Amino acid sequence: MITIPTNTTTKHLTNKMNPYEKILKEIASGLLEVAEIKPNFSNDALLDATLIFQTVFMDKLYDNCKGYHLDYQEEIANNAGAKLRKLIIEFTGLDTHELTKNYGK
């Protein structure tokens, strides 16, 4: 059973390893075990996985942009988000903006 930490704070996350890393590793390991089976994920699962990927990706993007002006960092982040959305549309036919509107329905 996966327990998600509920008492994390920004200060906590910046000073220590992110508490979700263990959960992500557990999910990744489980998926590798059944990689040859089509998992039949829902559209909500695509949005959830995209949010997780985007969060980790943006963390690394900001690490890479340290020392640059904040406006430049924001421009790069917006560009990366737009490209990710375009990639998902191109290869799945699904728009993450529409998935967000229909999340949980």
Sorted by sequence, the CB contacts under 8 Å of residue 56 that are 6+ apart come out as 24
List, for residues 6-18, the tens digit of each pLDDT value.
Answer: 554 444 455 577 8
List, for residues 40-89, the tens digit of each pLDDT value.
Answer: 999 999 999 999 999 999 999 999 998 999 999 999 999 999 999 999 99
Residue given tokens 């990706």 in the structure block: 57
d(CA 45, CA 72): 31
CA angle 70, 71, 77 (to 5 degrees): 90
Burial class (CB in 10 A: 0-12, 13-18, 19+), 16: exposed
What is the model's pTM? 0.77
Domain parsing of the chain, residue ranges: 1-40, 41-105
